[in-house]
Chain A
Amino acid sequence: MRSSQIVSFLKRSASYLVVGFWSIFSVFFVLWIILASLKKTRDLFGSPWSLPDNPVFGNYVKTWISNRFGDYFLNSFIVVNVSVVSILLVSVPAAYVLSRGNFRGQRALSNFIASGMGVPFPLLFVPLFVIMATLRLIDTLTGLTIVYVALSIPFTIYVLEGFFSSLPSELESAAIMDGCTDFEVFRWVMLPLAAPGIATVAILNFIGLWNEYQLSLVLINSPEKRTLSLGIYSLITSMQYSGGDWAGLFAGVTIVMVPTIALFIALSEKMISGITMGGVK
């Protein structure tokens, strides 16, 4: 074996070791949380590393019904899905125009939109609250959805611009020569080619918004309009003063994790191909 092969082997082994260790670490804690959600609180602290003797599925029932996680799940599901669809409806055409169009101020406009990613959310709390209150959209899921869409657009356009730029321009030219209008080129040629990229931003936005906490805390007041992340937080804080149902809390955490993990399992290949595709310009 040549020395370069040995070096390459060692490098690859080191990478596998790091990734393998990280994977085991992550999977271990996800499993631990799921097992913890099936224990009694006393057993959870008394024997944290053991398997549950008699799985307590009642923790899920209690969390879903008594702690209203069923309602919170539905709220999150509606807000996040409507947001993601709206984000894509706005961002995909915008990113296409910004990456392939040729007009004055194109770069400046692109940079201006991208600069939106640099604004820390906490700086926006007060102006957002005042604007939404003025529009009578405070404490509404519609208001929260609008804010989610507005704040997610810069990131989405920025990423999609990369995808569209990586697509070969020859296909566009061929379509135009065949008589396609600009919109038809976008709709029938470029959009299908950008599908992996669109799936990637859809997943990233879904996960980001599914776990979003700060904005919903500021904009939502009524308990019946809480999203899952607010529900988890209220469950954690209610441990003080009330009977600490820690096992129920882990049941809640599991409920929050399920959709994102399911989404990863279903769409991870598309997402990886989308990321690698967008990375090559």
Chain B
Amino acid sequence: MPQKSSRSRLAALAVCAGAVVGANQVHASELVFWSVWNEPEPQAVALRKIMSAYSQKHPETSFKVVWNGRQNQTKLRGALQAGIPVDLMDADADQLAGGLQMDGLGYDLTGELTGETKSAFLPGVLDLYAVKGHYIQFPYIYNTVNFWYNKDLLKKVGGSVPATFDELLSLCRTTRKAGKDALVIEGNVGFYNVLYFSNYLERLKGSGAVVKAFEDKSGAGWSDPAVLAAAKASRAVWDAGCIAADAPGFQYPAGQQTIAQGDTLGELVASWLPTELSESTGKDFSWGAFNFPAVADGKGKATDLEVGLLSFMVLKNSAHPKEAASFLNDVIGEDSQKILVAEGGVGVPRRGVAWPAALADGQTAAANATALSPFGGGLTTAYPEFTSNVLHPEFNKMFLGKTTPEEFVSTLVAKTKEYWDSHK
């Protein structure tokens, strides 16, 4: 009898165990992730840690990562054509918005993001690339566009952070008197240089002014006096001696290296600059950042911000979209975001997570942002073809003194009309 009893108990246990296993049974899924990072980069190191931590919490999910580097989106297009399965990818948010997202290849995350996830983001970040309230891409690295400068040098030349554009020009003169240059540019990087134009125009007319000017299909949007004023202000930084006379000859990264060498105060660029220069500056370099200053009679606020984000996107044809979305909910979690800061050395979009010390002013700008627009005013995102073929090269010509602001504006008017006539 005791034997029979123990057998029945064992049988009962087995049935119960089976029931429990059955209730918890989940299909193991391997998420295929194609990344914009190269394997040795610190951001890749951070992502590996985040994925590993996620797999520990969710043993049913594993990751297969292809570290493609910056050609990720281009390579992904080929892979999709060849039928190679990919669940998740990441890229520069602007390029993604004008690329795979615009082509409708992203999975709609709107129903997959938890309330906690949506409320975790700093103001405006998640909505910046949303299409009619639908979230297709998921920002996870946050770069702010500001003047990034050497705090010690600012002190040494006796300058102070400018609040207005006139004060910026005055700072240039002060810096020049001290034998240094206030600002530097890269002669061959049109999409950096155009920041003077887009930021000034947005300060005058408000956030989104660049796209708005372009979307007048007659081209007349550029005839607004504010556009000419923004173009003239861009030239004014040269006339005030802000930038060294030989700077047009600088090819990336020659310009920014002058900041590390202590010859120049700063540059109008995004918050990746301290990281890019870390090999040259060392860890003790005293970085500061200030927003593009206010302009007289401007509608835009000095706290409006242009940003450069990096985002994940779940592919529309992913075999595991819900699992991928679940991972994204984890990426914005406090632990994951702290790993990105500590290991990746980047700014992050989650509220309340401290950015690396060198980027502290960037975080302040992000936290106080009253309006966000994409890098360069958003035209790259919405109309990449016009931006790269017309706006950037034409602006650069004017900025470097080869054409006048008036010629620049009239070219924009004519080319915009041409664009819309051919895109009816």
Contacts and interface: CB of A to CB of B under 8 A. Distances in A.
B280 A241 contact: no
B257 A45 contact: yes
A12 B211 CA distance: 62
Majority DSSP secondary structure for residues of A touching B: helix
Interface of B: 37-43, 66-71, 75, 78-79, 81-84, 253-254, 257, 260-261, 272, 275-282, 346
Interface in A236-266: 237-247
B79 to A, nearest CB: 6
B276 A223 contact: no
A234 B38 contact: yes
Contacts of A240: 70, 272, 276
Nearest to B308: A241
Given A217-B71, A223-B67, A233-B69, 11 more contacts: A66-B40, A130-B81, A222-B66, A234-B38, A234-B69, A238-B37, A238-B38, A241-B275, A242-B43, A243-B276, A244-B279
Given A133-B82, A138-B82, A238-B70, A42 B42 contact: no
Interface in A105-150: 129-130, 133, 138
Interface in A194-248: 217-218, 221-223, 233-235, 237-247
A244 B41 contact: no
B41 A45 contact: no
A68 B278 contact: no
B70 A45 contact: no
Given A221-B75, A241-B272, A45 B280 contact: yes
Contact of B276 (A45, A221, A244, A247): A244
Nearest to B282: A42
B310 to A, nearest CB: 8
A246 B279 contact: yes
A247 B280 CA distance: 11
A43 to B, nearest CB: 9
A67 interface: yes
Given A133-B82, A237-B69, A246-B253, A223 B38 contact: yes
Contact of B39 (A45, A129, A223, A237): A223
Contact of B278 (A40, A221, A243): A243
Contacts, number: 94
Given A68-B39, A129-B82, A133-B83, A242 B69 contact: no
A223 B66 contact: yes
A37 to B, nearest CB: 14
Contacts of A241: 41, 43, 272, 275-276, 346
A75 interface: no
B260 A42 contact: yes
Interface string A24-55: 00000000000000001110011000000000
B261 A46 contact: yes
Nearest to A132: B82
A40 B281 CA distance: 11
Interface centre among B38, B66, B79, B84 (most CB of A within 10 A): B38
A242 B37 CA distance: 9
A235 B38 CA distance: 8
Contact of A129 (B78, B278, B280): B78
A223 B281 CA distance: 30
Contacts of A45: 253-254, 257, 260-261, 280
Interface string A56-78: 00000000001110000000000
Given A45-B254, A218-B78, A221-B75, A242 B42 contact: yes
Contact of B70 (A66, A133, A237): A237
Nearest to A222: B66
A221 B279 contact: no
A250 to B, nearest CB: 13
A202 to B, nearest CB: 31
Contact of B280 (A133, A217, A235, A244): A244
Contacts of A129: 78, 81-82
9 contacts: A46-B261, A129-B78, A129-B82, A130-B82, A223-B66, A234-B69, A237-B38, A243-B276, A244-B276
